[in-house]
Structure 1
């Protein structure tokens, strides 16, 4: 229907987000989290996002504590972000061609192993390699997580499921660094 600006708007009140495959009439996040597969995916993504956020704060702080160099802090921060930017086109293709569950498990195991080494690392170059390795794992894991949501949630709940994942990720990206700094 046209609004007063001449633009067409859509009446979203008629959209049933629960979809035909789900008999739970309660809309929203609670209904999604009642489904075991969605709850497992969501909790795995939440823990993964928390770990990623903490690493993006902790590693630069560790570098500053070890070196006192703002330049090296910036270098480590760049290493934690750059692989996602550079590898996104490749990881998107990879996610579409392999088993996503296995890929997520592999990427999370990779990141966990690398993060476990960080406390025992005292040199800047080993930390730089760990940061790059963790970031490569992040670049693989996040697209796999997001690409899995539609198959777990189903088409009738896709908008709610993606909203849940993104809201959770946003809250964690704010709360985890704040908790880590406290």
Structure 2
């Protein structure tokens, strides 16, 4: 993997150097300190996300859009974000956008999230296109879903990835779909480029 210098800093009297980095949503970054080509720190991995919400408070509440208002306003507590269907018909909650018309995520991106609890049939999928949805989620599951122009890859709980051939282009919205009487509590939502 190619290395790229993102910043230069001078240490203070305590030997601490601080740099500012503006996120670009590029996904996983491996960071380390180096002086004249010699490593000075261990490598630390971080995710530079397009969207992140740990879902423990309502600070990002405006980043969720209830399509046709058939699901509840998201509610937040220290264990996650809770949403349930509130009227007849399928309900949709768009993740990481404040309206129903944006398609904020361009292909070659991944979504990760943790399911705290779920009742009924709640599905994770993309608005637009022919992408498969993730069904039959259960409590304590962790999902990583990767979307590419020619495939979709789903990894559940760090297990063996399941790949499906797909052909698609453009940008997409990520949504939770509520089919029938259903609810979900999720946390640690991450969307990032891959």
Q: Which range, TM-score by smaller chain? A: under 0.3
Question: Relative to total residues, which structure has the larger helix share, 1 or 2?
Answer: 1
TM-score, normalised to structure 2, is 0.20
**More relative contact order in 1 or in 2 (CA 8 Å, sep 6+)?**
1
Question: Relative to total residues, which structure has the larger strand share, 1 or 2?
Answer: 2
TM-score, normalised to structure 1, is 0.21
